[in-house]
């Protein structure tokens, strides 16, 4: 199976008043196209830091991140931003939707930022909102949506650019059990429909074990 993403020796540390704090200590991770991986571990172990590095929101102190054999962090900031917009979709615990815009406008946003045609993005956003069962909420503003509906809008926004990698940081953590499971099922469905690789950070072990692999981050290292 072709490895679409590969992290090699990823390290991350911070300096705090002369003290070095090691968060990640040589992370190796291979992620095949279409594979879904869960990362679990105690709070404060660096799961979100790792997700941000995989998503190029933060640079590692050392190590390499390869996408289809090309070193991602060798790109300049402009090329890295373009790569992130095209290749990666993000879903966070707190959806980070723009409250002054409608569900449709929120989903369109990555395409508009990427300079794509507004009419085409509106059509694609409406189609994806239909797939996450929100056709009847397209023109509602964020404040008029339930927590589960807001997270489904966030999922639709994450996949509007047809990314290769979906990164989800506690996507069900702010929802009740039943609603959270529905969002998780949609995440699985969208991953399968669009052949996305996915990495999900979660404290929910039940959901974690429904992924293709479950990895634990402890003391700066990943364990199968």
pLDDT category at 3 given cuts 50, 70, 90 is low
- The 10s digit of each residue's pLDDT in 6-55 is 999 999 988 888 788 888 888 999 988 889 999 998 888 888 899 999 99
Residue 9 gets the label, from left (phi > 0), alpha (psi -120 to 50) or beta, of left
User: Residue 169 has what pLDDT?
Assistant: 86
Q: In this structure, what are the phi and psi dihedrals at residue 88, rounded to the nearest 5 degrees?
A: -125, 135
Superfamily of domain 3-221: P-loop containing nucleotide triphosphate hydrolases (3.40.50.300)
| Tally of CB atoms within 10 A around 69 | 9
Mean pLDDT across the stretch 124-129?
90
Q: Are 62 and 224 in contact (CB under 8 A)?
A: no
User: Residue 122 has what pLDDT?
Assistant: 93
pLDDT value at 215 more than 60? yes
Report the alpha-carbon distance of residue 31 to residue 34 in Å, rounded. Answer: 8
- If 0-12 CB within 10 Å is exposed, 13-18 middle and 19+ buried, where does residue 101 land? middle
Domain ranges of the chain: 3-221
Report the alpha-carbon distance of residue 187 to residue 172 in Å, rounded. Answer: 10
Mean pLDDT across the stretch 142-167?
87
- The 10s digit of each residue's pLDDT in 56-111 is 988 899 999 998 888 999 888 888 888 888 888 888 766 678 888 899 999 998 88
pLDDT category at 194 given cuts 50, 70, 90 is confident
User: Residue 1 has what pLDDT?
Assistant: 41
Segment among 68-72, 103-107, 121-125, 170-174 with least mean pLDDT? 170-174
């Amino acid at each position: 199976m072709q490895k679409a993403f590969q992290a090699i020796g990823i390290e991350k540390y911070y300096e705090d008043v002369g003290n070095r704090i090691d968060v990640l200590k040589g992370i190796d991770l291979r992620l095949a196209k279409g594979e879904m991986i869960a990362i679990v571990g105690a709070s404060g172990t660096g799961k979100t830091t790792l997700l941000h590095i995989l998503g190029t929101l933060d640079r590692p102190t050392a190590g390499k991140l390869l996408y289809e054999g090309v070193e991602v962090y060798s790109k300049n900031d402009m090329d890295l931003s373009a790569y992130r917009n095209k290749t990666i979709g993000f879903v966070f615990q707190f959806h980070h939707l723009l409250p002054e815009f409608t569900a449709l406008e929120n989903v369109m946003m990555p395409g508009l930022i990427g300079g794509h045609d507004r009419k085409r993005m509106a059509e694609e956003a409406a189609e994806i909102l239909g797939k996450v069962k929100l056709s009847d909420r397209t023109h509602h503003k964020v404040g008029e949506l339930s927590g589960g509906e807001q997270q489904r809008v966030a999922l639709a926004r994450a996949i509007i650019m047809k990314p290769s990698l979906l990164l989800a940081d506690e996507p069900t953590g702010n929802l009740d059990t039943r609603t959270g499971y529905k969002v998780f099922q949609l995440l699985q469905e969208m991953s399968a429909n669009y052949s996305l690789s996915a990495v999900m950070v979660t404290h929910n072990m039940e959901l974690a074990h429904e992924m293709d692999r479950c990895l634990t981050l402890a003391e700066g290292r990943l364990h199968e």
